[in-house]
Structure 1
Amino acid sequence: MQEPDSHSVDEHARGGPRPSAAEFLRANHDALLADWEQAVFQHLSGKAPARPPWLIDHLPELLTTLADAMELGPEALDERLEVAHAVARLDEGFNLGEVAQEYALLRRCILHRLEAQEQRLRSGDLTRLGETLDRVVTRTMTLFWDMKQRILQTLDNMAEATLDDPDMETLLERLLTRLMESALTVDTAAVMMLEGDALVVRAAVGLSTDEVKGLRVPVGQGVSGQAALERRPFFVRSAATDPRVLFGPLRRAGLRALYGLPLMDGERLLGMAYMGSRTAFDFSDSDVRLFHAVAERASGHIAQTELRAREHEARKEAERSLALLDSLLDAAPVGIAFQDHELRYLRINGTLARINGHSVEAHRGRTLHEMVRGGVVTAIEQSLRQVLETGRPVQDAIIEASNPAHGGPGAWRADYFPVRTPDGALLGVGVTVVDITDHKRAEAALQQAIDFREELIAVLGHDLRNPLHAVNASAFMLGKAPDLDPSARRSVDRIRKATARMTRMINDILDFARSRLGGGIPVTRQRINMVELCQGVLDELQVVYPERPLTLEVRGDDLWGQWDPDRVTQVLGNLVVNALQHAKNDTPVVTTLTSEPMDVVMRVCNEGDPIPAELLPRLFDPFKSGHLPDPGTRQRSLGLGLYIVSEIVQVHQGSVRVESSRREGTTFTVRWPRAPPPRGYLPP
């Protein structure tokens, strides 16, 4: 800084002595502030600054300090102000050039103000003012640089602390140690981890290290617990006497300043970190800045450690699950495999591997054509491709080929199904294969036994007809004898009833054998009157059951149609006899014929106990009785009568159904179409 030139007005021309530098600074305090702000704005080419100049908050105090130093000497300069300047600018991210530029602008504003007022300072004051500003700038720059270097060095040391990948507690203690080495006022530091609903000290350095490790603070209690609850920093000026500090070792150590920060992973609280000083009631901004850096590194490491732990546990769980799956697959009696889009085997169990004739290891990565031989491979591939193309399963596919396990032909049932990711992407095809060779053999043997039984029944029923006719004829002749006493006549009637019942049973057996052996029940249609036919059947039955009332009711005039008369009589006879067996002894069995445009409807009704509900779905199955027999009584029917009724009605393209209740009794309804339907017609 130089003196004004010789053209300036001297002190006599101004009518008084020259002002001192201190007087000038105090007198022009506000004007210099305004000049400096304007100079900064012009320096930025008229653009509004992206951030406020760093001296603006400290310039009033700086000008006052400069004035004091000009009066009292350099010792009046407050170094704390310079420290505050440097720390504030460092926190804002300023560099040395920006800080020096703002000091240079201040120097220029002072000179411009002196020139504008045409003033000269006392001799030597302008030089001393320049030297004082130089001292401020030099000390500020030096402090700024030292702090910057110290922070960078601390960050480098923290990075080195992680190179050997230590465990979490070791790394946290290393970071805290680096903090204490860089921040000389810090005497103790610790990290508390959130465990459940409490903060637990897991790493500590400095004073009371062993005493505080493992101590717990419930979240919401004490200064650290409340700060954790609110997710905010905390500061205590005198920790030794503050009742909010719950750790006794910290109070006994005589701590003054205590500062803490929440450790966060996004919005998730990981814990708290604190640092304390036994000598200072407050921490400098640079120390707080360092502590924030340490806390940030600690949070990142804790979150990374937890993530690695979860990944490790997930990997172990996956390995355990795969081991269990492999054990289940190996022990399963069902063949199981998973194949990709190229039909390569990615996974297969021992059961299916043996069926294919290769080891489990030989299947991995190999294709279907490489592992399965013979003519069945084409059908299997078609099913697999169908699943891949449609995304739908293919079930109950039967595979027949040679079976080495049984030493002959074998059979398997295969199911193919899509395997997808949770988001629905198709990964491949899952396969399950069940060996049904023994089942097929047992099924064939059972069918053979059934066929033999039905053939035997047919032969037996046919051969019984002749002796039964002889018995019936003899009973008829005996009944004609005029000298029979009442007892003998009753015996002859019982013989005739028994032979009639046996005839119906044999006819049912023969019809059943025909239907099951593939021949079907034959019918010969002819035009008949349903009323005449049914009346004849009831008259014959009335002779056999003279004590039971059998009535016929006719509704309508036209009851003609194309039916097989023998089969119609067989249906009505079976229904009436069934009704007689289950009706009350003194109640009638009523047969009703109703004329409809396309059908003749036959109904057979009786009073009595209703048919149990559990029997209704299988009432027309073979070898089932119409009612459950009473305990202690013998079932008097083979259970073929209603089955034969159903078969005959179906051959006539009609229908039969039953309704039974305690109030209405039991009614069998048969619909007889008047004429056979056209060829190719399917009933609804």
Structure 2
Amino acid sequence: MQEPDSRPVKGSTGSEDRLSAAEFLRAHRETLLADWQQAVLEHLAGKVPPREPWLIDHLPELLSALADAVDFGSETLDERMEVAHAIARLDEGFNLGEVAHEYALLRRCILHRLEAQEQRLRPGDLTRLEEALDRVVTRSMVFFWDMKQRILQTLERMAEATLDDPDMETLLERLLTRLMESTLAVDAAAVMLLEGDELVVRAAVGLGTHEVKGQRVPVEHSMAAQAAVLHQPFLIRSAATDPRVLLDSLRQQDLRALYGMPLMDGDRLLGVAYMGSRTAFAFSDADTLLFRAVAQRASAHIARTELHTRERAARQEAERSLAQLDSLLDAAPVGITFLDTQLRYLRINDVLANLNRKPVEAHKGRPLQEMVRDGAGDAIERSLRQVLETGQPVQDVLIEGPDVKRGGIGYWRADYFPVRTRDGVLLGVGSTVVDINDYKRAEAALQQAVNFREELLAVLGHDLRNPLHAVNASAFMLGRFEGLDATSRRGVDRIRKASARMARMINDILDFARSRLGGGIPTTPQHVNMVELCQSMLEELQVAYPERPLTLEVRGGNLEGQWDPDRVTQVLGNLVVNALQHARNDTPVETSLTDEGTDVVMRVHNEGDPIPEHLLPRLFDPFKQSLTPDEGGKQRSLGLGLYIVHEIVQMHGGSVHVESTVERGTTFTVRWPRVPPPRGYLPP
């Protein structure tokens, strides 16, 4: 700046009409602040966000101080203002050139406003203003530089403390030691880390180190929690008597100033660091600035240590998981493999590698088609692609191929499933392959035995019919001979009963064989009257069992429908004969037919011992025997009769069930639908 011309001009009345620089600064303070702020923002050009409070900070006081310095001399300037401004800029990350440029812009804004005035300055005001500004700039630059060097030297020493990669507590104690060595007013310092709901002192130096280390403070009651919410440091001027200090050891050290700040990782509270002094009630701005730099570095080390700890734990867990996986792969009796999304092998065990006739190491990183033998790769790849495309497993895939170990054709069952991370990202596909050759051979042998048994039963049933017909015919002829005495006639009756029973048993055997070999018992439905069928069957049984009363009760007028008449009478005959075998000798066997709309219901009832509860779930299974001996000491065979009843009723689309109690006896209920099921119907 040059001193404005002070020579008299036309129209001038003297120096008393000149402009006072001090009054100019006071009168135009808000305008100068606005001009300066705009100039600074244009210079920064988006380097930092425009947060007005920190940008303006000490400038209003600086303009007022400059006005006073013009009036009373630059010796009146308070250096604490420049120090506070320099510390604020250090906190914001400004460099020395940027701070100097701020003052240069302020000088330019003042000059531009002065040039716009019509009045000239009083003699000497501009010089005094220049001297005041130069003093402010010089002191700010010197303090800023010295403080910057001090912080850099402290941080350099802190960096040296980390070279041997110490544990976190040792590292924090070294950082605090560097702080105490750089700040004479500090008598104690510590770092408290957040563990659950408590702050725990993990590193301490200076006074009370042994007493305070390891102590705990509930986080919700501490000043650190409030400081973490506000993201601001805290200052206590008399720690020995202040109730907000929760650690007794700090009070016992007669500390005065206690300055602390939260250790943050973004918005996450890591802990709190504090420093205390026995001599000072407040720390200097330089000391607090250095402490904040140390605390920020400590926060970075704590966060990095936690990250390394988590990474190390994750790596160890991954190594354990891989070791367990390798152990499983080696010990598993089935083939196991994992492939990536490009169907390249990642892991495979010996079982599956041997099936491909290549070593385990040869598979890693190689595509499926190169490793799978005998042309089976296409079918396997289709299943694997399906898993990758749908994200769903593909199970029970039968693989056939040459069995090198045993010769001939071999069989394996494969299951394919997606492999994902915990958050659902698809990594590839896994596969298990089970050797089912033994199972296939056992299944074939069993099926052969079953087929042989069924065929034997069918042949046996057919071949027994011819001699049985001869017995029946002979017994019939003997029964008509009038010269038989009573004893001979009873013998003939026993022959006829036995042959009738054998005929029913042979029919049951044949039907059983048909149901197992031919897909169900054949039926030929036709329009019939259920009453006539039942009467005919009961009359025939009454001849065979003349001493036992067999009754029929009919309820309803329409008892006609589409049924196979031979099968209906076979069902009734089996149920009635079964009832005769298990009823008391002095009680009748009662049959009833009921019209129930779309169905005709047949019930066969007898009095006698109830069916044991343990037999009821399997009552209609073939080839079972009661475990309860009858009065004669023999086991009561339930044979095939009830099984055949169940199969015939189901082929008609009906149902059969039984109720058996001591009080009400035993009742078999058969429900016959009037309309037959569709042709080709098989019961479920």
How far does residue 541 in structure 1 lie from its aligned partner after superposition? 0.7
1:641-652 alignment runs, 5 A limit: 641-648=641-648
| 2:624–2:638 contact (8 Å) kept in structure 1 | yes
Q: Unaligned regions of 5+ residues in structure 1, if any?
A: 19-23
Residue 669 (structure 1) aligns with: 670
- Give secondary structure in 1 for the equivalent of 2:186: coil
How far does residue 284 in structure 1 lie from its aligned partner after superposition? 2.1
Alpha-carbon spacing, 1:368–1:583, altered in 2? closer, same or farther (3 Å): farther
The match for 2:103 among 94, 99, 102 is 99
Alpha-carbon spacing, 1:602–1:579, altered in 2? closer, same or farther (3 Å): farther
CA distance in 2, matches of 1:69, 1:210: 54
Q: CA RMSD in A?
A: 4.9
| 2:559–2:594 contact (8 Å) kept in structure 1 | no
| 2:6–2:123 contact (8 Å) kept in structure 1 | no
Whether 1:359 aligns to 2:345 is: no
Whether 1:257 aligns to 2:257 is: yes
Residue 395 (structure 1) aligns with: 395
After superposition, what is the alpha-carbon deviation per residue over 1:131-151, rounded to whole angstroms, capped at 9, x for unaligned?
Answer: 677555543443344334444
| 1:523–1:564 contact (8 Å) kept in structure 2 | no
| 1:86–1:144 contact (8 Å) kept in structure 2 | yes
After superposition, what is the alpha-carbon deviation per residue over 1:335-369, rounded to whole angstroms, capped at 9, x for unaligned?
Answer: 22233444333222333333333333233233333
CA distance in 1, matches of 2:250, 2:527: 117
1:534-549 alignment runs, 5 A limit: 534-549=534-549
- Give secondary structure in 2 for the equivalent of 1:280: coil
- Give secondary structure in 2 for the equivalent of 1:95: helix
How far does residue 232 in structure 1 lie from its aligned partner after superposition? 5.4
- Give secondary structure in 2 for the equivalent of 1:366: coil
- Give secondary structure in 2 for the equivalent of 1:535: helix
Alpha-carbon spacing, 1:411–1:636, altered in 2? closer, same or farther (3 Å): same
How far does residue 55 in structure 1 lie from its aligned partner after superposition? 3.6
After superposition, what is the alpha-carbon deviation per residue over 1:304-352, rounded to whole angstroms, capped at 9, x for unaligned?
Answer: 2111111210121122122212222322223222334443332223333
Residue 45 (structure 2) aligns with: none
- Give secondary structure in 2 for the equivalent of 1:622: coil
- Matched to 1:265, the amino acid is D
- Give secondary structure in 2 for the equivalent of 1:547: coil
CA distance in 2, matches of 1:43, 1:593: 111
Residue 284 (structure 2) aligns with: 284
1:214-613 alignment runs, 5 A limit: 214-219=214-219, 233-239=233-239, 242=242, 245=245, 255-374=255-374, 376-422=376-422, 424-465=424-465, 468=468, 490=490, 492-518=492-518, 531-553=531-553, 556=557, 559=560, 563=564, 565=566, 567-583=567-583, 585-592=585-592, 601=600, 603-608=602-607
CA distance in 2, matches of 1:141, 1:496: 133
Alpha-carbon spacing, 1:226–1:30, altered in 2? closer, same or farther (3 Å): same
CA distance in 2, matches of 1:13, 1:533: 148
After superposition, what is the alpha-carbon deviation per residue over 1:75-98, rounded to whole angstroms, capped at 9, x for unaligned?
Answer: x76544554454456557561232
CA distance in 1, matches of 2:535, 2:57: 123
After superposition, what is the alpha-carbon deviation per residue over 1:376-431, rounded to whole angstroms, capped at 9, x for unaligned?
Answer: 44443443344344444333233333334445543222223333445555444332
| 1:32–1:113 contact (8 Å) kept in structure 2 | no
How far does residue 259 in structure 1 lie from its aligned partner after superposition? 0.6
How far does residue 282 in structure 1 lie from its aligned partner after superposition? 1.6
- What is the TM-score normalised by the length of structure 1? 0.78
CA distance in 2, matches of 1:120, 1:514: 133
| 2:237–2:257 contact (8 Å) kept in structure 1 | yes
CA distance in 1, matches of 2:636, 2:131: 135
How far does residue 539 in structure 1 lie from its aligned partner after superposition? 1.3
| 1:465–1:506 contact (8 Å) kept in structure 2 | yes
Alpha-carbon spacing, 1:36–1:238, altered in 2? closer, same or farther (3 Å): same
Alpha-carbon spacing, 1:157–1:604, altered in 2? closer, same or farther (3 Å): same
Q: Unaligned regions of 5+ residues in structure 2, if any?
A: 43-51
CA distance in 2, matches of 1:454, 1:400: 30
- What is the TM-score normalised by the length of structure 2? 0.78
How far does residue 218 in structure 1 lie from its aligned partner after superposition? 4.5
CA distance in 2, matches of 1:672, 1:247: 89
Q: Percent identity?
A: 63
Residue 21 (structure 1) aligns with: none
1:602-641 alignment runs, 5 A limit: 603-608=602-607, 618-624=618-624, 629=628, 634-637=634-637, 639-641=639-641
Alpha-carbon spacing, 1:383–1:617, altered in 2? closer, same or farther (3 Å): farther
| 2:8–2:14 contact (8 Å) kept in structure 1 | no
| 1:257–1:278 contact (8 Å) kept in structure 2 | yes
Alpha-carbon spacing, 1:196–1:415, altered in 2? closer, same or farther (3 Å): closer
- Matched to 1:639, the amino acid is G
1:71-90 alignment runs, 5 A limit: 78-84=78-84, 86-87=86-87
- Give secondary structure in 2 for the equivalent of 1:572: helix
CA distance in 1, matches of 2:367, 2:534: 71
Alpha-carbon spacing, 1:2–1:220, altered in 2? closer, same or farther (3 Å): same
| 2:32–2:109 contact (8 Å) kept in structure 1 | yes
Residue 26 (structure 2) aligns with: 33
Residue 54 (structure 1) aligns with: 58
How far does residue 110 in structure 1 lie from its aligned partner after superposition? 11
| 2:512–2:644 contact (8 Å) kept in structure 1 | yes
| 1:258–1:275 contact (8 Å) kept in structure 2 | yes
Residue 656 (structure 2) aligns with: 657
How far does residue 209 in structure 1 lie from its aligned partner after superposition? 4.9
CA distance in 1, matches of 2:112, 2:387: 85
CA distance in 2, matches of 1:213, 1:226: 22
How far does residue 156 in structure 1 lie from its aligned partner after superposition? 5.4
My pick for the range that moved more, 314-323 or 125-134, is: 125-134
Q: Aligned residue pairs: how many?
A: 660
| 1:658–1:668 contact (8 Å) kept in structure 2 | yes
| 1:220–1:229 contact (8 Å) kept in structure 2 | no
- Give secondary structure in 2 for the equivalent of 1:623: coil
| 1:344–1:368 contact (8 Å) kept in structure 2 | yes
Alpha-carbon spacing, 1:329–1:683, altered in 2? closer, same or farther (3 Å): closer
| 2:413–2:434 contact (8 Å) kept in structure 1 | yes
CA distance in 1, matches of 2:242, 2:595: 108
My pick for the range that moved more, 240-249 or 571-580, is: 240-249
How far does residue 650 in structure 1 lie from its aligned partner after superposition? 6.3
- Give secondary structure in 1 for the equivalent of 2:343: coil
- Matched to 2:373, the amino acid is R
| 1:264–1:271 contact (8 Å) kept in structure 2 | yes
| 1:649–1:672 contact (8 Å) kept in structure 2 | no
CA distance in 2, matches of 1:282, 1:519: 100
| 2:416–2:430 contact (8 Å) kept in structure 1 | yes
- Give secondary structure in 2 for the equivalent of 1:186: coil
Larger radius of gyration: 1
